Structure 1
Amino acid sequence: MDASPDLPRQGRVPVFNLPGIVTVSIAVLAGIHVVRSVLPDETDLSVLLNLAFIPARWTAAFDPNSAADIIRAAGEGAGGPEMASARQEFARYLVADPSAMPWTGATYALLHGSWMHLIFNAVWLAVFGTPVARRYGVLRYGLLALAGILAGAVVHLLVDPCSLMPLVGASAGISALMAAAARFVFQPPPPFVAGAPWQLPPRPRLQTIPELLRNRSAVLFLAVWLVTNLLFGVLALPLGGSEGPIAWDAHLGGFAAGFFLLPLMERGSGGRG
């Protein structure tokens, strides 16, 4: 009689050791960009206008009296008279029939400005989305990313309400996942003595904010992230292959959403936070 325990069946070793939802997220973003790359320019422009988040459009929808301010601000940007005139024509187009198009507060995250922009975001999504997806599962991973995307759009609108620059990219959602991961990855695992080879150690609890501020690794990570975003935002430099300056305010909004909403999800999953 064989007295050895029944061990769990071993599956095939995956090519990419990523949770399925993270792999799907990256594949969806890449697939959308592939489709956009083969669309005619006019069609792709229509996709951009209907899915990107444009602060001036939302401002005009909420306050129709702001139309004159939006058009005037469009003529005061950088560039020569022709560029200013083009921006003002675009502003007039947006305010002529103002509609916030509320779905753009989320759909902008599906679009990217270039392949380098997409690759840059995909790498960070793989790095920080993975621990969050493994700890909380598909639903909470998705809710947290969506909360970051929405918060990023709101903060971007509040900071630059008359901007005509379409906001695209999943960075705000990734920032939320990044902030969430920072709450538990920068600490040693709890003591654990396995009773059987297949038993998994308990997951580390969330660090409180005072504990996080005493964690040198976490503080260094947070400081570098914050300074990098503010630096590139102040200097208006592109980052990660994007065609325009990064929306540092959207990143901060997404980061704050992930950082402060995660404990609510932790309680809902029965963990400690």
Structure 2
Amino acid sequence: MDASPDLPHQGRVPVFNLPRVVTVSIAVLAVIHVVRTVLPDELDLSVLLNLAFIPARWTAAFDPASAAEIVRAAGEGAGRPDIATARQDFARYLVAEPSAMPWTGATYALLHGSWVHLIFNAVWLAVFGTPVARRYGVLRYGLLALAGVVVGALVHLFVDPYSLMPLVGASAGISALMAAAARFVFQPPPSFVAGAPWQLPPRPTLQTIPELLRNRPAVLFLGVWFITNLLFGVLALPLGGSEGPIAWDAHLGGFAAGFFLLPLMERGACHARH
């Protein structure tokens, strides 16, 4: 006699086994980019100016006396006089009626410079957003990503306050998710013997900074990531299909936000389970 219980019918294995919030995040970024590709150039430029993060605009809003210095700095290093003039005209446009447009500190993450830029970020979001979303749920996943985006923009503002280059891309938020995931994914699962088939192993604890520094896979991965960001930042080379050099400082700001904010969310998650 067969005493095994009747188990529910196993459905088809999904092609993309991502948490729904990660799938939705990638889909939203893709839809926004599709819409931008079909907009007239003038309207797309308006979207860029109203949603991208431009450090010089924030600097002029908080310190109107810096307007003349922003215009002067805009013409430096242009090489050709016509390019210098165009940059200074754009600077004058930004400082004519200075407004920080505070929402741009978050909305710039919704825009991308090209399809390659978007795909590059989508892959990293799938890789590192997935473990964070599964461990902490939709709300904490969103808060970590948003904190990375905002802190990344503020660090970029601090490092390059007179920059006229619009900052776009979700990389700072993804860097926050990457830092969060690095604190628990680069370690073997805890020893566990299931007492019943439905029991799940305990999730790994967060590694402290000393523990992380002793974790060779984690140190290797983070070292390569930091060196790549700094190298491309110093050489001012584009990465991931972006039209300009990567904002390495925004990436580092996002990483720091995710790394240090995660323990607070871990405590909140533990309290919610009790």
Bin of the TM-score, shorter chain as denominator length? over 0.9
Q: 2:219 matched to 1:219?
A: yes
* Distance in 1 separating the partners of 2:78 and 2:115: 26
Report the secondary structure of 2:59's partner residue: helix
Quote the residue 2:94 is aligned against. 94
* Distance in 2 separating the partners of 1:132 and 1:258: 11
Quote the residue 1:153 is aligned against. 153
1:247 Cα deviation (Å)?
0.2
* Distance in 2 separating the partners of 1:249 and 1:5: 56
1:200 Cα deviation (Å)?
1.9
1:14 Cα deviation (Å)?
1.7
Quote the residue 1:196 is aligned against. 196
1:195 Cα deviation (Å)?
2.4
* Distance in 2 separating the partners of 1:119 and 1:186: 25
Quote the residue 1:267 is aligned against. 267
* Distance in 2 separating the partners of 1:8 and 1:162: 61
Report the secondary structure of 1:197's partner residue: coil
Report the secondary structure of 1:156's partner residue: helix
Matches within 5 A, 1:1-273: 4=4, 10-270=10-270
1:201 Cα deviation (Å)?
1.3
* Distance in 2 separating the partners of 1:138 and 1:6: 33
* Distance in 2 separating the partners of 1:58 and 1:104: 10
Q: CA RMSD in A?
A: 1.6
Are the equivalent residues in 2 in contact too, given 1:71–1:88 (CA < 8 A)? yes
* Distance in 2 separating the partners of 1:60 and 1:234: 26
Structure 2 alignment gaps of length 5 or more: none
Q: Which amino acid aligns with 1:27?
A: A
Structure 1 alignment gaps of length 5 or more: none
1:222 Cα deviation (Å)?
1.1
Moved more, 216-225 or 35-44: 216-225
* Distance in 1 separating the partners of 2:73 and 2:203: 51
What number of residue pairs does the alignment pair up?
Answer: 272
* Distance in 2 separating the partners of 1:6 and 1:255: 47
1:193 Cα deviation (Å)?
1.0
Q: Which amino acid aligns with 2:192?
A: F
Report the secondary structure of 2:212's partner residue: helix
Report the secondary structure of 1:90's partner residue: helix
1:9 Cα deviation (Å)?
6.6
* Distance in 2 separating the partners of 1:253 and 1:41: 32
